[in-house]
Structure 1
Amino acid sequence: MTNPDFSVIKAILFDKDGTLLRYDESWGPVNREAARIAAAGDAVLEAKLLDVGGMDDVSGHTRADSLFAAGSAADIARGLVAAGSKLDTDDLTLKLDALFLRAADYSVPAAELAGFFGRLKARGFKLGVASSDNEAAIRATADRFDFAQYLDFVAGYDSGHGVKPEPGMLLAFARAVGFEPRQVAMVGDNKHDMHVGLSAGAGLKIAVLTGTGTTETLSPLADLVLADITLIEDLLP
């Protein structure tokens, strides 16, 4: 980690799952359902696919930077088919996208998101969300937790800006809000998010511990590791 310089930051791009939402509480049941769908009634295969995805069946914890933690619906579908799912990859992707859209109804926020985004917007920051989830699911989450009106930008893996850990989502956000990438802070919970910030030339890379990443996995890549997003407010100028 380095000494973070917040003075240049004019815009903040947030990951969704594990960053705005607490990962295990929000996605544990969803990952189990994803494995069940992919296994199509084969209980032995279902347990295998859950493990391949990165989730421990007993603890309910999903491993940092695993397929479930960092992959898009298409990534997860390809991985589960390669591990033995008999479903067609495209069909499974569609089923997972629909599942992930419904997951917004069961998400557990990492903070009181409407107030958090409202306060940042009142301080003049441009705000965006970039996720490996689909764009419709991001917007459903923003609507459910009443912060959609504060967003200047939303990007999912299907929005046309590329996928994590590529830099495209952050570069598109910077263009959309009229700032340079060095004026953008990238906030996320896993290595993919930090690599987005690094490859795009973000001014700051901020990691949070409400997802699957740990201080050990994130600190080599992040400028700052925080317990959760609420601590950002006290650090911004």
Structure 2
Amino acid sequence: MNAPLRSDIAGILFDKDGTLIRYDESWSPVNREAARIAAAGDLQLEPRLLLAVGMDPQTGLTRADSLLAAGNAAEIALGFEAAGSPIDAAELTVLLDELFVRATEYAVPVTDLRALFSRLKARGLKLGIASSDNELSIRQTAERFGITSCVDFVAGYDSGFGTKPDAGMLLGFCAATRLEPRQVAMVGDNRHDLQMGANAGAGAKIGVLTGTGSRETLAELADICIEDITALETLLRR
């Protein structure tokens, strides 16, 4: 059984994909569409592009810490271009960002997010979302699942706080909520989430298993590894 979180934890910063929403169920169809766009009509190129950026075209599973699992639209576009996409990476970044905004409709939540966030908020916690997705997509996801009023901070790769695993998003959350990094628990499904927490000096780095990461890939960086975000409530000191 995991030990409770330290008593001075006053804020939780969540990754989005694989943490708040289940990664493979939510992103498998989106990733296939991303490869279709990048292939520009070349059906033989599509599966090669998927493999190059981290997804098995047969199983639909995405490799932990790959470009699809951990990268932003610009990084994925560069990966597609390097693997043979005929579309310029800058143009492809725009197309992917537009796709990822539309992808909100495919999102499968890990749990009843409105209920969980409401309970966490009732404890007096500050809550934020930091994702490698674009900010509009994050905000639309929060709106869809009814948690906008509970969220104190949102940051995407295009929000001006830098990208993971740099510390900027977590430090931005601290500035917005007047917390010290040691008071923040960083929660994510990939190593870059936890590395961001480490780089910023987060008080806790919590890995979840609803995304592409496993206990093995997360163990080195996670203080605690839990099945999903619903276990957070049992970790919080009353």
TM-score range, shorter chain: over 0.9
Return the alpha-carbon distance in structure 1 between the equivalents of residues 65 and 200 of structure 2: 19
Return the alpha-carbon distance in structure 1 between the equivalents of residues 219 and 4 of structure 2: 13
Question: Displacement, 1:226?
Answer: 0.3
Runs of 4+ in 1 over 4 A off after TM superposition: none
Partner of 2:24: 24
Question: Displacement, 1:5?
Answer: 3.7
Instruction: State whether residues 5 and 235 of structure 2, in contact with CA within 8 Å, keep that contact through their aligned partners in structure 1.
Output: no
1:183-214 residue CA offsets vs partner (Å, 9 max, x unmatched): 00000000000100000000000000000000
Describe the SS at the equivalent of 2:172.
helix
Number of aligned residue pairs: give it. 236
Partner of 2:164: 164
Runs of 5+ consecutive residues of structure 1 not aligned to the other structure: none
Partner of 2:145: 145
Describe the SS at the equivalent of 1:225.
strand
Return the alpha-carbon distance in structure 1 between the equivalents of residues 5 and 36 of structure 2: 45
Describe the SS at the equivalent of 1:49.
helix
Asked if 1:63 corresponds to 2:42, the answer is: no
Partner of 2:136: 136
Partner of 2:200: 200
- TM-score by structure 2 length? 0.97
Partner of 2:104: 104
Instruction: State whether residues 206 and 224 of structure 1, in contact with CA within 8 Å, keep that contact through their aligned partners in structure 2.
Output: yes
Asked if 1:47 corresponds to 2:47, the answer is: yes
Runs of 5+ consecutive residues of structure 2 not aligned to the other structure: none
Partner of 1:221: 221
- TM-score by structure 1 length? 0.98
Return the alpha-carbon distance in structure 1 between the equivalents of residues 27 and 67 of structure 2: 13
Return the alpha-carbon distance in structure 2 between the equivalents of residues 119 and 153 of structure 1: 17
Partner of 2:95: 95
Question: Displacement, 1:4?
Answer: 6.1
Supply the AA of the counterpart residue of 1:157. Y
- Which moves more between the two structures, 155-164 or 54-63? 54-63
Instruction: State whether residues 4 and 224 of structure 1, in contact with CA within 8 Å, keep that contact through their aligned partners in structure 2.
Output: no
- Which moves more between the two structures, 203-212 or 5-14? 5-14
1:70-85 aligned within 5 A:
70-85=70-85
Question: Displacement, 1:6?
Answer: 2.4
Describe the SS at the equivalent of 1:43.
coil
Describe the SS at the equivalent of 2:187.
strand
Partner of 1:211: 211
Report the aligned-residue RMSD: 1.0
